[in-house]
Structure formats: structure tokens, C-alpha cells
């Protein structure tokens, strides 16, 4: 998409010196693109600030002498990928938000800039969707392991169960079926990585299941076992993030902040399109961080 906004600021540098190979990044620039479904065709198009109401914004940071970039927005620290950093602002109305872009050079020397943007968000989730997801205040979900096709794989942008659909209990013992996902009314999301060890007291230790290389984004202690392109029983602990609901292109979408995920860690934008739902069950899909596949999951409320 064409550049919409380029913002250049004076850098607020942590260090403005060179020590051999340690070079402080300079000339930080940020391209800010507002994304909305103008044609209602499910495709996100570039619009002008503050957007048309989707609340979705893309940041692309660049700088001289930098090797990686991060964007800090609404309390989240997001590492920039090849396509930049996408963020969905779900607070209703037109609001002003502070954003910090960080450029890191060799040896960990970094520079940063902070700026404000205006964003318009108009989506209000339907009451029955909110009721389904978090009930009267909090609701616990799990992968519906007893159902055929509860976990699947398909082409990016296609049917997420067309390449593979797991039979009932087909992924037992990999670190997925004992996970629980708690959605709270205040917008917090808690991932319990092992619900079998929390009685009589809470034990935050456990394991999770995910895609090779991508699972390293979790920043855990490592471990786990390689099984083809999967990493099974990757050692991890309970954590909390934020959840929000949007509907780009009219498709109800569950958004998890940070490293929040469901079932199988695939990186990407942590957005799960809701393909179908009832009062106690939903089928969702998300595209992995490599842009290779869509992954499908059936979840059921406890």
C-alpha cells in the first residue's frame, strides 16, 4: 500500500556515542497507515486519519544504523516484522493515543521517538457475542478435543481445515488440551497453560504447543520436543494479555494482545476470525506469522 503518513521526529536517544561497533540509530521515521474496509469486500484499504472506524493502524519504522524495531502502543511492546506492526484500537469514538517507536542497533544501543495519533473506532460488538465470550463477567474456554476437526490447517486465506483436520484427541499429550483460556469482562485474557495442577493451590507452570521457530517469540526457557514442524510441550507459565473484538469486512474477529494465542502458537497478528459460533462454542481461524497457512480451532466453554 502507498505511504500515507511519514512522521519524522528528533530522536530521544539512550546513548549518542559510538563505542567501536556500537552505533546509535538515528533518523527514526515512522510510516502510519490507517486501514479500513472501504468497499466492504473484506479487503483492508488505506484511508486518511483518523480512519473510517475500523481502529486498525499499521506502523512501519525505519532508521539509520538499526537492526530491529519495536512499537510500544497501549502498553504493548510489539516487535516489527517484515510488514510492519498492526494494532487495533478498540476504544469507541475518536481518541488520541501516544505511540513510541524504538530502533535498536548493534550491541543493544537504542533510540526512540514518541508521537500522538488520532484513531476512530466505531465497532460495538453485539450483546450475544459478548455474552458468549465472557458471560456475566468471566468465562473459561478450551479446545474441543473430543470433536473431530477441532484443530486444522489450510491455505492462507482459505479453509483452515482443508489440508489437515485432527481426529478426536489426535493431539493428546502435546501441551494443548490441558490449556484453558479465560475471557474477563474488563478486557483481560488469561491463558492457563496446565489446568490439571491448580488444585488445591495455583501452579503457574506447564507446557504449550506451537510452530517451530515461531514459538520462540514466547521468550520462554525453551525446551520441548521437535515433532516435524511442531514443538510439543514447550515449557511455559500462565500469563495474561488483553482481548478485544472487531469486525473488519463484517467478519467478527477476536484480537489478542502481545503473545496471546489459542491452542497452537503460530505468531502472526494474533487475530482470530470467528467462522461460526453458538452460545457455548466457536470455530476460529488465524494466519501464521510466516503467511503460509491458516490454522483452525474449535473451542468450547466450560
> Which CATH number belongs to the domain containing residue 254 in this structure?
2.40.128
Same domain, 216 and 91: no
- Strand 138-143 with 85-88, pairing: unpaired
Same domain, 74 and 132: no
Q: Which of 121, 146, 181 is the last residue of a domain?
A: 121
* Angle of CA points 217, 218, 222, to nearest 5°: 100
Residue 10 binned pLDDT confidence (cut-offs 50, 70, 90): very low
Please say if the pLDDT value at position 5 is more than 90: no
How far is 7 from 49, CA to CA, in rounded Å?
Answer: 13
Please say if the pLDDT value at position 28 is more than 90: yes
Q: Which residue has the higher pLDDT, 135 or 81?
A: 135
Same domain, 294 and 150: yes
How far is 25 from 65, CA to CA, in rounded Å?
Answer: 5
pLDDT tens digits, 177-197: 999 999 999 999 999 999 999
Burial class (CB in 10 A: 0-12, 13-18, 19+), 233: middle
Same domain, 25 and 141: no
Please say if the pLDDT value at position 97 is more than 60: yes
Same domain, 117 and 154: no
Q: pLDDT at position 292, please?
A: 93
Q: pLDDT at position 40, please?
A: 66
How far is 247 from 261, CA to CA, in rounded Å?
Answer: 19
Please say if the pLDDT value at position 88 is more than 80: yes
Same domain, 117 and 159: no
Query: Which range has the worst mean pLDDT, 32-36, 81-85, 92-96, 253-257?
Result: 81-85
Q: pLDDT at position 42, please?
A: 62
CB 112 within 8 A of CB 102: yes
Q: Which residue has the higher pLDDT, 195 or 74?
A: 195
Same domain, 116 and 194: no
- Cell numbers for 201: 493451590
Same domain, 142 and 291: yes
Same domain, 73 and 139: no
Domain that holds residue 82: 5-121
Q: Which of 121, 149, 172 is the last residue of a domain?
A: 121
How far is 198 from 10, CA to CA, in rounded Å?
Answer: 50
How far is 118 from 243, CA to CA, in rounded Å?
Answer: 21
Same domain, 192 and 85: no
Rounded to the nearest integer, the mean pLDDT of the chain is 90
Please say if the pLDDT value at position 6 is more than 60: no
CB 57 within 8 A of CB 87: yes
Highest mean pLDDT among 10-24, 41-55, 95-109, 211-225: 95-109
Into how many domains does the chain fold? 2
| Strand partners for 274 | 284
Same domain, 132 and 114: no
Please list, residue by residue across 256-294, b when 16 or more beta carbons sit within 10 angstroms of its beta carbon and e when fewer do.
Answer: bbbbbbbbbbbbbbbbbbbbebeeeebbbbbbbbeeebb
CB count, 10 Å around CB of 238? Answer: 19
How far is 73 from 85, CA to CA, in rounded Å?
Answer: 10
Residue 41 binned pLDDT confidence (cut-offs 50, 70, 90): low
How far is 212 from 125, CA to CA, in rounded Å?
Answer: 34
Q: What is the CATH number of the domain that holds 25?
A: 2.60.40.10
Same domain, 218 and 76: no
How far is 9 from 202, CA to CA, in rounded Å?
Answer: 47
Q: Which of 101, 121, 141 is the last residue of a domain?
A: 121
Amino acid at each position: 500500500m502507498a505511504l500515507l503518513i511519514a512522521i519524522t521526529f528528533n530522536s530521544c536517544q539512550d546513548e549518542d556515542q559510538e563505542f567501536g561497533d556500537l552505533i546509535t540509530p538515528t533518523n527514526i521515521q515512522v510510516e502510519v497507515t490507517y486501514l479500513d474496509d472501504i468497499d466492504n469486500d473484506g479487503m483492508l484499504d488505506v484511508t486518511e486519519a483518523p480512519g473510517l472506524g475500523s481502529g486498525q493502524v499499521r506502523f512501519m519504522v525505519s532508521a539509520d544504523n538499526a537492526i530491529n524495531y519495536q512499537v510500544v502502543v497501549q502498553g504493548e511492546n510489539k516487535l516489527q516484522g517484515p510488514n510492519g506492526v498492526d494494532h487495533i484500537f478498540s476504544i469507541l469514538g475518536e481518541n488520541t493515543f501516544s505511540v513510541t517507536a524504538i530502533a535498536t542497533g548493534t550491541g543493544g544501543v537504542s533510540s526512540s521517538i514518541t508521537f500522538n495519533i488520532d484513531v476512530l473506532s466505531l465497532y460495538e460488538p453485539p450483546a450475544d457475542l459478548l455474552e458468549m465470550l465472557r458471560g456475566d463477567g468471566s468465562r473459561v474456554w478450551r479446545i474441543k478435543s473430543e470433536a473431530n476437526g477441532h484443530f486444522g490447517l489450510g491455505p492462507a486465506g482459505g479453509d483452515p481445515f482443508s489440508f489437515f483436520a485432527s481426529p478426536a484427541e489426535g493431539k493428546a499429550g502435546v501441551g494443548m488440551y490441558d490449556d484453558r483460556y479465560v475471557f474477563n469482562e474488563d478486557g483481560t485474557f488469561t491463558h492457563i497453560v496446565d489446568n490439571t495442577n491448580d488444585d488445591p493451590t495455583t501452579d503457574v507452570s506447564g507446557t504449550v504447543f506451537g510452530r517451530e521457530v515461531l514459538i520462540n517469540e514466547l521468550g520462554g526457557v525453551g525446551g520441548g520436543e521437535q515433532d516435524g514442524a511442531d514443538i510439543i510441550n514447550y515449557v511455559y507459565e500462565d500469563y495474561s494479555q488483553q482481548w478485544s473484538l472487531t469486525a473488519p469486512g463484517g467478519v467478527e474477529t477476536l484480537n489478542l494482545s502481545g503473545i496471546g494465542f489459542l491452542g497452537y502458537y503460530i505468531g502472526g497478528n494474533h487475530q482470530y476470525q470467528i467462522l461460526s459460533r453458538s452460545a457455548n462454542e466457536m470455530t476460529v481461524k488465524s494466519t501464521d506469522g510466516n503467511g503460509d497457512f491458516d490454522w483452525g480451532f474449535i473451542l468450547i466453554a466450560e
